[in-house]
Amino acid sequence: MSVGHYENFPVASLLLPRALRGPVAVIYRFARTADDFADEGSDAPQARLEKLQGFRFELEGISSGRTSKTPLFAKLERIVREHGVPLQLFHDLLDAFSQDVVKNRYADFAEVLDYSRRSANPVGRLLLHLFDEHTPENCKLSDRICSALQIINFWQDIELDFRKDRIYLPQDEMRRFGVSEDQLRERRCDQHFQDLMRFQVERARGMMLEGAPLLRNLKGSFRLEISVTVQGGLRILDKLERAGYDMFRHRPVLRRLDWPLLFFRAL
């Protein structure tokens, strides 16, 4: 599992029970395809929104009992029926992807968290439903982990997002630390930017650690899967710190040699 662009979703991982690899892969395909509608290709914004609306229509069909002729949604319907997965979780993902089409600045951290609530938290809750571990406490802890992963992905990809004219750094915090959009354009990693990113990294790490007690409530391969995920996010933060918060020139990623360390820490 890596961090970023829905590869932070455990796609048919060998750590998952065989019976759940198929459902996880189908849910991943839904999320990845819808995310690509918002992000990839050269479609105009209206065309992107129309594609996402097509997915909403298919979800409404599941809700109303209308049989889908699309293989993806026929499989998704079976998963929803068999595991009691709330359709609202899929609608939340679509809402976040639609927001990416029309919104490219965030006034404060509350807005970033609200986006993460819909773009990332549903992924964790979907897994909890598949494993029948969706207690209120587990969902709350999962939300902290998933929001932290989303935010880590934002800080990992500041330059990549800026090329798409998106800035997820809260505007009020940029002003507080004296960082401008021109600085991002110039890829200037000065003391002001380092101070801003140190603040963001420490907050993201705190969120991840707040959610980590979820692991005590899980068992078996699911616990190991989520533990590796947590360690992967923390590893990205460690790399960002070691790079002096300069993701412009040293974008932190998980490499092959990182995996033994992640599994060791997870165990």
> What is the tens place of the pLDDT at every residue in 172-209?
999 999 999 999 999 999 999 999 999 999 999 999 99
Q: Are 144 and 215 in contact (CB under 8 A)?
A: no
Q: Are 204 and 155 in contact (CB under 8 A)?
A: yes
Tell me which amino acid residue 196 is: L
Q: Are 20 and 82 in contact (CB under 8 A)?
A: no
* Mean residue pLDDT across the chain: 92
Closest CA to 148 of 204, 110, 200: 204
State the pLDDT confidence band at 14, using cuts at 50, 70 and 90.
Answer: low
Residues 6+ apart with CB under 8 A from 55: 30, 33, 34, 37, 94
Token match 């029309």: residue?
Answer: 102
The pLDDT value given to residue 240: 97
Stated pTM of the model: 0.92
In tens, the pLDDT along 17-30 reads: 888 989 999 999 99
How far apart, in whole angstroms, are the C-alpha atoms of residue 105 and residue 167?
5
Is residue 105 packed enough to be buried (19+ CB in 10 Å), middle (13-18) or exposed (0-12)? middle
In tens, the pLDDT along 74-97 reads: 999 999 999 999 999 999 999 999
